[in-house]
A and B are shown apart, each in its own frame.
Chain A
Amino acid sequence: MSYWFRNDNRLPQARLAIASYVIVGMVGLLLLGFWKLQVVDSDKYGQMAERNRVRSIPIIAPRGRMLDRDGRVLVDNYPSFSILLLRDDPALIDKNLPTIADGLGIPLSDLKDQLESTKNLPKFQPIVIKPEATNADVAYIESHRSDIPLLEMLMVQRRRYLPGGFMSHASGYVGEVSEQQIEASNGRLRPGDLAGKTGLERQYNDTLTGTDGMRRVVVNSVGKEVKELGHLTQQEPIPGKQIQLTIDYDLQQVAEQSLGMRPGAVVALDPRTGEVLAMVSRPTPDPNDFAVRIPAEEWKALNDDPLHPLLNRAIQAQLAPGSVFKIVTATAMLEDHVPEEGFTTFCPGYGTFFGRQYHCYVFYAKSGPKSHGVLGLHDAILKSCDVFFYNVGMRLGIDRLSYYASKLGIGHKTGIDLPSEEPGLMPSQEWVERTFHRKWYAGEVISVATGQGAVTTTPLQLARLIGGIASGGVFKQPHMLKDAQNVGEERFAIAESTIEKVTDAMYGVVNEPGGTGGHLKLAGIELSGKSGTAQVIGYDKMALVRKGSQYADNAWFVGYAPKRNPEICVAVLVQESGQHGGEAAGPVVRDIVKAYYDKKAKKTQGQLTADDKQYDLSRGAAAAASVHTLPVVKPAAATAAVPARAASVDPQR
Chain B
Amino acid sequence: MNDAPGTRDYDWWLLAILAAICALGVIEIYSATHGSSLAGMQNKQLRWLLIGFVLMFALSRLDYHLILDQAPVLYLIGIAALIAVLAFGHTRFGAKRWIPVLGEFLQVSELVKLIIIIVMARFFAEVRSDELSIQDLIKAGLIIGLPLGLILKQPDLGTALVLVPLLVVGAFLAGLQWKHAAAIALIGLLMLPVAWRVLKPYQKERVTSFLHPEEDAKGSGYQVLQSKIAVGSGGFWGKGFGNGTQNQLGYIPVRYSDFIMSAWAEEQGFKGVLLALGLYMALLLRLVQNAQRAKDRAGMFLVMGVAAVLGFHVLVNVAMVIGAMPVTGIPLPLMSYGGSATLFVFLAIGLVMNVRLRRFVN
A residues with CB within 8 A of B: 1-2, 4-13, 15-16, 19-20, 23-24, 26-27, 30-31, 33-35, 37-39, 41-42, 44-46, 48-50, 52-53, 89, 91-92, 218-222, 226
Asked if B285 contacts A20 (CB within 8 A), the reply is: yes
For A2, what are the chain B residues with a Cβ–Cβ distance below 8 Å? 65, 68-69
For A42, what are the chain B residues with a Cβ–Cβ distance below 8 Å? 232-236
Nearest CB to that of B294 among chain A residues?
A11
24 inter-chain pairs at a CB distance below 8 angstroms, sorted by A residue, are A5-B68, A6-B128, A12-B174, A15-B172, A16-B173, A16-B288, A16-B300, A19-B172, A19-B304, A30-B277, A30-B318, A31-B274, A35-B270, A38-B235, A41-B232, A44-B232, A49-B229, A49-B232, A49-B233, A53-B246, A53-B251, A92-B218, A221-B250, A222-B250
Centre residue among A16, A34, A53 by max chain B CB count within 10 A: A34
Q: A11-B300, A15-B173 are in contact. Are A37 and B228 (CB under 8 A)?
A: yes
Partner of B250 from the list A1, A13, A39, A220 (CB cut-off 8 Å) is A220
For B288, what are the chain A residues with a Cβ–Cβ distance below 8 Å? 16, 19-20, 23
**SS of B interface (majority):** helix
**SS of A interface (majority):** helix
Asked if B249 contacts A219 (CB within 8 A), the reply is: yes
For B69, what are the chain A residues with a Cβ–Cβ distance below 8 Å? 2
Whether B322 sits at the interface, judged by CB under 8 Å, is yes
Partner of B249 from the list A9, A24, A226 (CB cut-off 8 Å) is A226
Asked if A5 contacts B298 (CB within 8 A), the reply is: yes
Asked if A38 contacts B270 (CB within 8 A), the reply is: yes
Nearest CB of B to A145, in Å: 13
Partner of A37 from the list B174, B231, B314 (CB cut-off 8 Å) is B231
Q: A9-B295, A34-B265, A38-B270 are in contact. Are A45 and B281 (CB under 8 A)?
A: no
Nearest CB of A to B359, in Å: 10
- Complex Cα distance, B281 from A8, in Å, reads 29
Nearest CB of B to A47, in Å: 8
A8-B297, A12-B174 are known contacts; what are 17 more A-B pairs with Cβ within 8 Å? A9-B295, A11-B292, A19-B172, A19-B288, A27-B277, A30-B318, A33-B324, A37-B322, A42-B232, A48-B232, A49-B230, A49-B251, A50-B233, A52-B249, A53-B251, A91-B219, A222-B250
For A15, what are the chain B residues with a Cβ–Cβ distance below 8 Å? 172-173
Asked if B296 contacts A8 (CB within 8 A), the reply is: yes
Nearest CB of B to A574, in Å: 65
Whether B240 sits at the interface, judged by CB under 8 Å, is no
| Interface size class of chain B, counting residues whose CB lies under 8 Å from the partner chain | 35 or more
Nearest CB of B to A149, in Å: 9
- Complex Cα distance, B234 from A220, in Å, reads 18
- Complex Cα distance, B281 from A31, in Å, reads 11
Partner of A45 from the list B233, B270, B304, B324 (CB cut-off 8 Å) is B233
Whether B175 sits at the interface, judged by CB under 8 Å, is yes
- Complex Cα distance, B244 from A50, in Å, reads 11
For A12, what are the chain B residues with a Cβ–Cβ distance below 8 Å? 173-175, 300
Instruction: Tell me the chain B residues, 207-237 only, with Cβ under 8 Å from chain A.
Output: 218-219, 222, 226, 228-236
- Complex Cα distance, B128 from A222, in Å, reads 59
Whether B205 sits at the interface, judged by CB under 8 Å, is no
B residues with CB within 8 A of A: 65, 68-69, 122, 125-126, 128, 130, 169, 172-175, 218-219, 222, 226, 228-236, 245-246, 249-251, 265, 269-270, 273-274, 277-278, 280-281, 284-285, 288, 291-292, 294-298, 300, 304, 307, 311, 314-315, 318-319, 322, 324, 362
Asked if B285 contacts A5 (CB within 8 A), the reply is: no
Nearest CB to that of B250 among chain A residues?
A221
For A11, what are the chain B residues with a Cβ–Cβ distance below 8 Å? 291-292, 294, 297, 300
- Complex Cα distance, B296 from A39, in Å, reads 45
Asked if A49 contacts B245 (CB within 8 A), the reply is: yes
For A38, what are the chain B residues with a Cβ–Cβ distance below 8 Å? 231-232, 234-236, 265, 269-270, 273
Asked if B280 contacts A27 (CB within 8 A), the reply is: yes
Asked if A89 contacts B65 (CB within 8 A), the reply is: no
- Complex Cα distance, B273 from A27, in Å, reads 11
- Complex Cα distance, B280 from A91, in Å, reads 38
Asked if B173 contacts A39 (CB within 8 A), the reply is: no
- Complex Cα distance, B222 from A89, in Å, reads 10
- Complex Cα distance, B233 from A48, in Å, reads 8
Nearest CB to that of A37 among chain B residues?
B232
Partner of A33 from the list B230, B285, B319 (CB cut-off 8 Å) is B319
Asked if B235 contacts A46 (CB within 8 A), the reply is: yes
- Complex Cα distance, B10 from A631, in Å, reads 96
Q: A9-B296, A16-B304, A39-B270 are in contact. Are A48 and B65 (CB under 8 A)?
A: no
Asked if B173 contacts A45 (CB within 8 A), the reply is: no
Asked if A52 contacts B65 (CB within 8 A), the reply is: no
Asked if B122 contacts A34 (CB within 8 A), the reply is: no
Asked if B318 contacts A48 (CB within 8 A), the reply is: no
Asked if B249 contacts A220 (CB within 8 A), the reply is: yes
- Complex Cα distance, B296 from A336, in Å, reads 134
Nearest CB to that of B175 among chain A residues?
A12
For A24, what are the chain B residues with a Cβ–Cβ distance below 8 Å? 281, 285
Nearest CB of A to B317, in Å: 10
For A10, what are the chain B residues with a Cβ–Cβ distance below 8 Å? 130, 297
- Complex Cα distance, B361 from A7, in Å, reads 12
Nearest CB of A to B345, in Å: 17
Nearest CB of B to A90, in Å: 11
Nearest CB of B to A42, in Å: 4
Asked if A89 contacts B218 (CB within 8 A), the reply is: yes
Centre residue among A13, A44, A218, A221 by max chain B CB count within 10 A: A221
Nearest CB of A to B113, in Å: 19
For A19, what are the chain B residues with a Cβ–Cβ distance below 8 Å? 169, 172-173, 288, 304, 307
- Complex Cα distance, B252 from A49, in Å, reads 11
Partner of B125 from the list A4, A13, A27, A218 (CB cut-off 8 Å) is A4
- Complex Cα distance, B173 from A19, in Å, reads 9
For A35, what are the chain B residues with a Cβ–Cβ distance below 8 Å? 270
Nearest CB to that of B317 among chain A residues?
A30
